[in-house]
Amino acid sequence: MIITSNLDNPDTSPACAPGTLIAAAIDVEWSKNYRVRGGNVPFCYSVTWLTLPREHTRPGMAGFWYTCVYVQDTSETGDLVASADRALRHVLDQAGLIAGHQLSSDLAVLAATARAPHPGITAAQAAWRHRRQHEPGGLRLLDTRYDAGHILRCASRRLVDDGPAPPLAGTG
């Protein structure tokens, strides 16, 4: 696998200093073949971390880390799923805020591809299902496809729509 990261150990999370909040964003890329059962296969995932002071945030006070993992060929898919599982366990243990676009789909593809139960993937799916019942001060999970209606004021929150594209300005 190809692993790039600015963490000393990409299988860990950044240290969380007292008084800081860690936010994590997760994305899984996968081949999409809806006509074939098991045709959706992950080939890449990334986790980005951002630490912020809980109070008195000023420019330059944030820390930023990332890890990206890609398969070189399909023989590494199981290794990718296991690595994503470890990453999800760190995210769930360390982050106070977790965000992803279509995160439920990403987690479902990882779970369907896994040959055995993976505790990080299972726990992330449970957190997603219960994301609207979070305790004050507890883990907050945000799936921007389903939970950003107050920000995005359009009928669809998909990044790609099937409908015709609106005309470009001035081409009317």
Domain locations in the chain as residue ranges: 2-143
Check if the beta carbon of residue 116 is closer than 8 Å to that of residue 142. Answer: no
Residues of the chain with pLDDT > 90, as a percent, come to 41
Is the pLDDT at 73 greater than 90? The verdict is yes
Is the pLDDT at 79 greater than 90? The verdict is yes
Is the pLDDT at 165 greater than 70? The verdict is no
Check if the beta carbon of residue 143 is closer than 8 Å to that of residue 101. Answer: yes
Stretch 91-104: mean pLDDT, rounded? 90
Taking the CA of residue 60 as centre, how many other CA atoms within 13 Å lie in the half-sphere pointing to its CB?
A: 0
Task: Identify which has the larger pLDDT, 117 or 70.
Answer: 70
- pLDDT grade, residue 155 (50/70/90)? low
pTM higher than the cut 0.85: no
Tens digit of each residue's pLDDT (9 = 90 or more) over 4-14: 999 999 888 88
- pLDDT grade, residue 82 (50/70/90)? very high
- Helix orientation angle between 103-113 and 77-94, rounded to the nearest 10 degrees: 130
Stretch 118-139: mean pLDDT, rounded? 85
- What are the percentages of helix, strand and coil residues in the chain, rounded to 5? 25, 25, 45
Stretch 76-93: mean pLDDT, rounded? 95
Is the pLDDT at 3 greater than 80? The verdict is yes
pLDDT of residue 26: 94
